[in-house]
Amino acid sequence: MSIINEMKLDFLSCPANEAFARMVISAFILPLNPTLEQLGDIKTSVSEAVTNAVVHGYGEKKGTIRMRALLDDAGGLTVEVTDNGCGIRNIQQARQPFFTTMESAERSGMGFTVMESFMDDVEVHSEPGRGTTVRMSKQILAPCPAARRA
């Protein structure tokens, strides 16, 4: 499997960039002709990861969020969202449905659950005080030409 396209984007952790990141990832995968459902799944998952970086990673502070996306020749997409914010102390707990550290702000605690449900695979790497990377992947095209024709 080899990489056929790659992009990297650095942007400030302000809420307006949540929509910006969704638009960028949509434009990036559009040449693969994703279904509306795939497009929706990917936009929603990116939105969750970027919102986590804005709200939890940096909080009141501002910092840089990096989004990196790769398309491989088998029709797979990988997206990484990285922040250099506060990091996650307990990743297992953070991934629990409805777990939130910010109930008063009406955060649902559903972010990771959404990513895990809408993407094929989600990995979280985090170090307290250093930051977090969420790496998600999803197959957009059927993996072999025969299956693609079907």
Partner 1 sequence: MLTHEKKRGTMTVRLTGDLDHSTAGRIREELDELISDPGIRRLVFDLSGLTFMDSSGIGMMIGRYKAMMRRGGSIAVQPGNAQVDRLIELSGLYQIIEKLA
Show which residues are catalytic.
48, 52, 107
Residue 113 as a binder of partner 1 (CB under 8 A): the answer is yes
Kindly state whether residue 54 participates in binding partner 1, applying the rule CB under 8 A: yes
Q: Counting contacts by CB under 8 A, is residue 106 touching partner 1?
A: yes
- Contact between 59 and partner 1 by CB under 8 A: the answer reads no
Contact status: 125 vs partner 1 (CB under 8 A): no
The structure tokens listed for 19 are: 């929509």
Nearest Cα to Cα of residue 33 among 144, 140, 119: 140
Q: Is 101 helix (H, G, I), strand (E, B) or coil?
A: coil
Distance of CA 100 to the CA centre of its chain: 18
CA 45 to chain centre: 5
Which span sits near partner 1 by CB under 8 A: 10-18, 60-68, 69-77, 122-130?
Answer: 10-18
Residue 96 DSSP code = S
Q: How many residues does the chain have?
A: 150
Size, binding site for partner 1 by CB under 8 A: 26
One of 13, 18, 131, 140 touching partner 1 (CB under 8 A): 18
Interface residue with partner 1 among 33, 90, 96, 117 (CB under 8 A) is 117
* d(C-alpha 25, C-alpha 27), whole Å: 5
The verdict on 60 binding partner 1 (CB under 8 A) reads: no
- Please tell me whether residue 67 binds partner 1 under the rule CB under 8 A: no
Report yes or no: 81 and 50 within 8 Å, Cβ to Cβ. yes
Query: What's the token pair of residue 68?
Result: 């990196």
Q: Which residues bind partner 1 (CB under 8 A)?
A: 15-16, 18-19, 22, 36-37, 40-41, 43-44, 47-48, 51, 54-55, 105-111, 113-114, 117
